[in-house]
Amino acid sequence: MSWDFLAGQFAAQFGLWWLIVPGILLGIVVGILPGFSPQNTLIMLLPLTLALPVEQAFAFMVSLYCANHLAGGVPAILVRIPGSGGAAATTLDGYPMTRKGQAQQALVLSFVASVAGGLITTLATLALLPWLSQIGLYLRSVEMVVVMLFGLTLIAVIAARDTLKALIAGFLGLLIGVIGTDHIYNAPRATFGFLELYDGVPLVAALIGLFAVSEALVMIEEKMIVAREGRERAMRASWADTLDGLRIAARKWWHIVWTSFVGLFIGIVPGAGASIAAFVAYQQSRLWSRHPELYGTGVPEGVIAPEAANNGVTSGTLVPMMALGVPGGTTAAVMMIVLQYHGMVMGPRLFQTDPGLAYGVFVAMAVAYVFMIFTILPFARYMARIVLIETTYLAPIIILVTIVAAFSERQYLFDMALALVFGVIGYIAHKTNYHVTAMLIGIILGPLFEQYLVRALRISEGDVLVLFSSTLGNVLWGLLVLSLVLPYVRRLRRPQTVA
Amino acid sequence: MLIGTLLVGLVILQLARIGRSLARGSGDLRMDPLWLPREALAKRVGMVLLTAAFIVALEWLGLTLALLVAMALALRLLGVRSPGTIAWVSCAVAGVVYLLFVAILDSAFPHGPIEQLLARLFA
């Protein structure tokens, strides 16, 4: 791959702005609405993408996909409703920033972290593609068990304030995650006779209920989302706040870089997704912070880490598809359908037979990120105004529209009722200080953890020691233990330092 | 099984913690956080019941009409008094949802009189 080739690719992709910009705008709309996934949107748009030449179809699809990952953070920050599972961790610090009247800064931080994280990892992928494609081969079920545990330890991190309550919420989430058919015998488990639960608890319904509906029920008691002391600041918000957000993001550039690589490496593993990456990045960010106690109160790093990571995932997801012919996620699988329709055979040979397409996909992604920052950044100021709408109007709109959105993932009325049930559970949890994020971590990561664990145990015919059988796995175990022990060591050392 | 056992263990620990704080006189069994502030309680319960009714009515009224009615009732319940405001906010929300979910995304929502009328008009 020569510089001339790359320059030609970039020039060609910039020429596709007329597809990239609509893709970005559609991706933003789909990302902001909980219940809409990029894969469903791409499936609906298949007649369009199949009709386009493959390079153009890909420019449109990756733009939509990347913008979707970016936009999920917008409702997470403004109204504590993650647009997707990958944005759930953003609520932890994004929403407290909004409550303090810093919604605009939080949005700018989220946009810059998403774009910079996505761009850096895409360029890294372009440069290191042959080597990165090997990572997926090394991270097998044994190693993925430990990666999942990294995410699950966030429950313990959240537990810092009330260990017992957060653990109860986390384990309740894990228990809810068990609902569905089991991975060995395909027998229904805790489905209570509902056929709709055979595929497990739908994530969108859980997300909407636990965050959107419960938060709207809580916000009824206040006039506005923004706390009284932050209201004046939110009303005075100007372009200076956008610049302030940019300044903070520039100061935290290293944080954006390393957390985006967490997303890239997790994204490369087929089946692992943005939710895991965002939770792991948030957990690691808090772990290595000098002030971990401030996380959850509205710190910029708490917004940067999950957003950079969930956009770092975007290029990682395409690596196994392009290099090995294995789709890294459902969106990649839809993209693969388009490629196969055009007669492309995925795998290592594609880089010799059609380098323009193989590398062009990642170049299109990089170009989409460049367009994205100019498309969305000016809107931060106006988006932040949403928090000034009175809850009298906002609460019913949130409850009814998100309940409608719960339908769109699987098209079952059952999911709307389930979202309402989760809303009531979330409200009770909120009011009694049981952390809903801990519950959601259990619901998202529990089934994945079980899936990898069962796969590893099946390969070893039930021998638990298989979990300690690989060098990389053991290194990850060591890091996991270190990440659990380190906060306590720090806490022990802190009084001595003060003394 | 393992998760359930651990969860039961954690719940027992929490109950013991509550028992200890009761014995010390530093806690009580009142559920005030759930109900307070009192003036918001009726609105909350009302919103939950209204949403449940909306889900049930969806099959008969279709998405747009059910949402229009539910939205108007919800705004009234939460304290909006102006009929004009209630009407335009409800119509705007129902209209946007119709455009997005039915007209553009063609989701399989139950169709009611409004969807059938609009389908006939634009067919």
Residues of B in Cβ contact (< 8 Å) with A411: 107-108
- Rounded Cα distance, A489 and A482, in Å: 10
Token readout for B117 is: 């009328």
* A319, A270 contact by CB (below 8 A): no
Query: Per-residue pLDDT for A139 more than 80?
Result: no
User: Is there a cis peptide before residue B37, judged by omega within 30 degrees of 0?
Assistant: yes
Question: pLDDT (tens digit, 9 = 90+) per residue, A243-289?
Answer: 888 999 999 999 999 999 998 888 877 666 777 888 889 988 888 88
Beta-bridge partner residues of A101? none
Enumerate residues 6+ apart whose C-beta is below 8 A from A60.
Answer: A19, A20, A22, A23, A48, A49, A52
List the single best residue of A36, A404, A432, A435 to mutate versus B (max B Cβ within 10 A).
Answer: A404
Band of the pLDDT at A498, cuts 50, 70, 90? very low
Label residue B75 by pLDDT band (50, 70, 90).
Answer: very high
Partners of A399 on chain B (C-beta within 8 Å) are: 47, 51, 74
**Are B109 and A401 an interchain contact pair (Cβ–Cβ within 8 Å)?**
no
Q: Is B49 exposed, middle or buried (0-12, 13-18, 19+ CB in 10 A)?
A: exposed
Distance from CA of B51 to the nearest CA of A (A): 7
Rounded average pLDDT over A299-319: 89
CB count in 10 Å sphere of residue A471:
9
More confident residue, A316 or A84: A316
Instruction: Name which of A171, A411, A412, A457 to mutate to probe chain B: the one with the most chain B Cβ atoms within 10 A of its Cβ.
Output: A171
**B67: pLDDT strictly greater than 90:** yes
A177: nearest Cα among A206, A211, A138, A154: A206
- Measured from the Cβ of residue A28, the count of other Cβ atoms closer than 10 Å reads 22
Are B51 and A403 in contact (CB < 8 Å)?
Answer: yes
Q: Are A204 and A35 in contact (CB under 8 A)?
A: yes
Q: How far apart are the CA of A217 and the nearest CA of chain B, in angstroms?
A: 6
DSSP state of B100: I
Q: What distance in Å separates the CA atoms of residue B66 and residue A213, rounded to the nearest whole number?
A: 18
B53 shares contact with chain A (CB less than 8 Å) = no
* pLDDT tens-digit series, residues A377-429: 888 888 777 777 888 888 899 899 889 888 877 888 999 999 999 999 999 98
B54 near A CB under 8 A: yes
Query: Strand A188-189 and strand A180-181: pairing?
Result: antiparallel
Segment A438-454 mean pLDDT: 83
Tell me A210's DSSP state.
Answer: I
CB contact (8 A) between residue A401 and residue B11: no
Query: Taking Cα atoms as reference points, which of A266, A281, A317 lies closest to residue A448?
Result: A266
CB atoms within 10 A of CB B76: 15
- Burial of A284 per CB tally in 10 Å (0-12, 13-18, 19+): buried
With an 8 Å Cβ cutoff, are A220 and B44 in contact?
yes
| Residue A48 forms contact with B (CB below 8 Å) | no
Q: Extract the tokens encoding B12.
A: 């027992």
Enumerate the residues of chain A whose CB falls inside 8 A of the CB of residue B100: 33
Which of the residue ranges A31-45, A206-220, A246-260 has the most confident prediction, judged by mean pLDDT? A246-260
Residue A433: CA count within 13 A, CB half-sphere? 11
> In this complex, do B58 and A416 lie within 8 Å of one another by their Cβ atoms?
yes
Task: Please tell me which of the candidates B3, B6, B71 has its beta carbon nearest to residue A400.
Answer: B71
* Mean pLDDT for all residues in chain A: 83
Q: What is the pLDDT of residues A57-94, one digit of tens each?
A: 888 999 998 998 888 888 889 888 887 778 888 988 99
Number of H helices, E strands in chain A: 25, 2
CA quadruple A50, A51, A56, A60: dihedral sign: negative
Q: What angle do CA A115, A284, A293 make, to 5 degrees?
A: 105
Distance CA A318, CA A323 (A): 8
Predicted pLDDT of residue A499 = 39
- Residue B69 backbone phi and psi in degrees, to 5: -65, -45
Beta bridge partners of A188: A181
Residue B26 burial (CB count, 10 A): 8
Whole-complex ipTM: 0.90
Nearest to A164 among B13, B58, B79 (CB): B13
Kindly tell me if the per-residue pLDDT of B92 is higher than 90. yes
Can you read off the two tokens belonging to residue B86? 């209630």
Please give the share of chain A, as a percent, with pLDDT higher than 70.
91
A441 vs A153: CA distance, rounded Å: 9
Residues in B touching A416 (Cβ below 8 Å):
55, 58
Q: Which one, of A449, A92, A102, lies nearest residue A271 by Cα?
A: A449
Tell whether B57 is within 8 A of chain A (Cβ). no
Residues A23/A49, Cβ–Cβ less than 8 Å? no
- To which residue do tokens 């539910």 refer? B70
Predicted local confidence at residue B32, as pLDDT: 75
